[in-house]
């Protein structure tokens, strides 16, 4: 059926029957489930068909058992009512566990500590330290945003048509939207003292984040974040750890210049980001199996 220039489709009787008895291929089932989110008519037909199967009877029994033990529902609060969440608060809650959890205060502490060292403590290497830590901040946010350890409803949300990689990318975007501008602005406010530019970490941070997501499709988010963050910190900080105290700041700035400065270096980070994105796209089906994440 068509309506103007937009094509609107509805589930056929055969499609509904095959979905109800479990014979519909997974891609077609996912497409139908996505359609049901916005089509009440088809949702009602599918619901009635499923209730007529053995699985429907079992689901009815489970539902009745859950409702029998469920506590009294909380009253629904309308917008503007006392205690109701504001729109920014609802968006923050939906953005993911990292942005609404301990990760966000940790990012603010990193920025405040860098400002205190650079201006309050007169430490010339504050920007260099910030640039050494900044690329792993979004990586940590990604690790804390997705997986059974981060979300008690992970298995349910990951199994929905809007779950999987789409959910990961939404939460990753929320993490980047907080960390990138905040840490870059902090770097701009700190004395340079030979350190690279305040925005030099953006491409490396993006590449490490995408690399973490791609690697997570093999080993899980926490392990992938540990590998990428550990690799970066080891590359930057280990050579500096053996330097005399008086030379550590200058050596860290030199080390960061080699890892961040220059068109060739930034081009290499951009290429790494693109390759990670391609690998992530190829590994997308792995995010439809939430048990390992």
Contact present, 19 and 32 (Cβ < 8 Å): yes
Question: Which of 14 and 146 is assigned the larger pLDDT?
Answer: 14
Lowest-confidence segment of 7-11, 79-83, 117-121 by average pLDDT:
79-83
Q: Residue 292's pLDDT is what?
A: 46
- Write down the pLDDT at residue 120: 87
Question: Looking at the predicted structure, is the pLDDT value of residue 291 above 50?
Answer: no
What are the phi and psi torsion angles at 37 (to 5°)? -65, -25
Listed in sequence order, the residues at least 6 apart from 142 whose beta carbon sits closer than 8 Å to its beta carbon are: 98, 168, 171, 172, 175, 209, 212, 213, 216, 221, 225
Whether the per-residue pLDDT at 81 is higher than 60: the answer is no
In this model, does residue 274 exceed pLDDT 90? yes
Q: Which residues contact 27 (CB under 8 A, 6 or more apart)?
A: none
Q: What is the mean pLDDT of residues 257-262?
A: 95
Are 137 and 107 in contact by the 8 Å Cβ rule? The answer is yes
Query: pLDDT per residue over 20-63, tens digit each?
Result: 888 888 888 888 888 888 888 898 898 888 888 877 777 777 77
Confidence of residue 92 (pLDDT cuts 50, 70, 90): low
Tell me the mean pLDDT in the region 210-227.
Answer: 94
User: Which of 73, 209, 35 has the alpha carbon at shortest distance from 137?
Assistant: 209
Supply the pLDDT for residue 71: 57
In this prediction, residue 5 carries a pLDDT of 40
User: How high is the pLDDT of residue 251?
Assistant: 92
Give the span between the Cα atoms of 222 and 170, in whole angstroms. Answer: 18
**Per-residue pLDDT tens digits for 225-248:** 999 999 999 999 998 888 787 788
Helix (H) or strand (E) holding 192: none
Q: Supply the pTM of this predicted model.
A: 0.70
C-alpha distance from residue 28 to each of 11, 18, 43, 51, 55 (Å)? 11, 10, 15, 20, 19
Residue 165: predicted pLDDT: 86
Which letter does DSSP use for residue 160 in this model? S
> Is residue 2 very low, low, confident or very high in pLDDT (cuts 50, 70, 90)?
very low
Q: Is the pLDDT at 206 greater than 90, yes or no?
A: yes
Q: What's the chain's average pLDDT? A: 83
- State percent of the chain over pLDDT 90: 43
> What confidence tier does 72 reach under pLDDT thresholds 50, 70, 90?
low
């Amino acid at each position: 059926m068509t309506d103007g220039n937009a094509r609107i489709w509805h589930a056929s009787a055969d499609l509904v029957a095959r979905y109800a008895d479990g014979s519909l291929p997974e891609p077609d089932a996912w497409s139908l489930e996505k359609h049901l989110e916005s089509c009440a008519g088809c949702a009602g037909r599918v619901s009635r068909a499923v209730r007529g199967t053995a699985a429907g009877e079992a689901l009815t029994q489970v539902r009745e058992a859950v409702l029998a033990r469920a506590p009294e529902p909380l009253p629904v609060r309308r917008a503007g009512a006392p205690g109701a969440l504001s729109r920014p608060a609802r968006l923050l809650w939906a953005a993911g566990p990292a942005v609404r959890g301990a990760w966000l205060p940790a990012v603010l502490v990193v920025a405040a500590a860098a400002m205190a060292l650079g201006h309050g403590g007169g430490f010339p290497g504050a920007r260099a330290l910030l640039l050494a830590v900044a690329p792993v901040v979004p990586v940590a946010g990604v690790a804390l945003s997705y997986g059974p350890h981060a979300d008690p409803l992970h298995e349910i949300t990951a199994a929905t048509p809007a779950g999987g990689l789409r959910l990961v990318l939404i939460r990753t975007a929320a993490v980047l939207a907080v960390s990138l501008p905040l840490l870059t602005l902090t770097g701009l406010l700190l004395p340079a003292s030979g350190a690279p530019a305040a925005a030099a970490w953006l491409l490396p941070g993006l590449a490490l984040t995408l690399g973490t997501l791609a690697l997570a499709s093999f080993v899980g988010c926490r392990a992938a974040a540990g590998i990428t963050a550990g690799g970066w910190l080891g590359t930057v900080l280990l050579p500096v750890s053996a330097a005399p105290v008086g030379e550590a700041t200058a050596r860290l700035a030199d080390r960061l210049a080699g890892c961040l400065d220059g068109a060739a270096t930034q081009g290499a980070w951009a290429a790494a980001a693109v390759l990670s994105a391609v690998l992530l796209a190829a590994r997308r089906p792995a995010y439809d199996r939430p048990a390992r994440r």
